[in-house]
Structure 1
Amino acid sequence: MHVGEAELKNVLPRRWAHSLGVASRAAGLGRILGREADVMVAAATLHDVGYAPRLATTGFHPLDGARFLCDEHGADERLVRLVANHSFALLEAEERGLREELEAEFPLLEEQILVDTLVYCDMTTTPFGEPTTAQERVVEIVGRYGADSVVGRFIRRASPEIFAAVERVDAALAAQPR
Structure 2
Amino acid sequence: MTAPRLFRTPHQPFRPRVPLAPRSVALAVVPPVAPAGPLTVAARAVAESLIGDLGNRWLHTRGVAERAAELAGPLGVDADLLTAAAWLHDIGYAEPTVVTGFHPLDGADHLTRNGWPVRVAGLVAYHSGARFVAAARGLSDLLAAYPDERTVLADALTYADQTIGPSGLRVDPAARYAEVLLRHGPCSWNARVDPDRGPYLRAIAHRIEHLLALPVAA
The CA RMSD over aligned residues, in Å, is 1.6
Q: TM-score, normalised by structure 2?
A: 0.76
User: How much does 1:155 deviate?
Assistant: 4.2
User: How much does 1:176 deviate?
Assistant: 4.3
- Alignment equivalent of 1:8, drawn from 35, 40, 51: 51
8 A contact 2:77–2:153 mirrored in 1: no
Partner of 1:117: 156
User: How much does 1:22 deviate?
Assistant: 0.5
Give the residue type in structure 1 aligned to 2:51.
L
What does 1:1-178 align with in structure 2 at a 5 Å threshold? 2-10=45-53, 12-34=54-76, 36-72=78-114, 74-103=115-144, 105-110=145-150, 112-177=151-216
Query: What is the percentage of aligned positions where both structures have the same residue?
Result: 40
Distance change (3 Å), C-alpha of 1:44 and 1:156? farther
Q: TM-score, normalised by structure 1?
A: 0.92
Q: Deviations over 1:115-139 (max 9, x none)?
A: 2111100011101111111110111
Give the Cα–Cα distance (whole angstroms) in 2 for the partners of residues 156 and 47 of structure 1.
23
Q: Considering Cα pairs closer than 8 Å and 6+ residues apart, tell me whether 1 or 2 has the greater RCO.
A: 1
Give the Cα–Cα distance (whole angstroms) in 1 for the partners of residues 189 and 77 of structure 2.
36
Unaligned runs of 5+ in 2: 1-43
Q: Deviations over 1:88-125 (max 9, x none)?
A: 1110101111012101x112014x20121111000111
Give the residue type in structure 2 aligned to 1:177.
V
8 A contact 1:138–1:155 mirrored in 2: no
Partner of 2:26: none
Give the residue type in structure 2 aligned to 1:95.
A
8 A contact 2:75–2:212 mirrored in 1: no
Q: Which one is further off, 51-60 or 26-35? A: 26-35
Moved over 6 A (4+): none
User: How much does 1:78 deviate?
Assistant: 1.2
User: How much does 1:159 deviate?
Assistant: 1.1
Q: Which one is further off, 145-154 or 75-84? A: 145-154
User: How much does 1:175 deviate?
Assistant: 1.1
Give the residue type in structure 2 aligned to 1:17.
L
8 A contact 2:89–2:107 mirrored in 1: yes
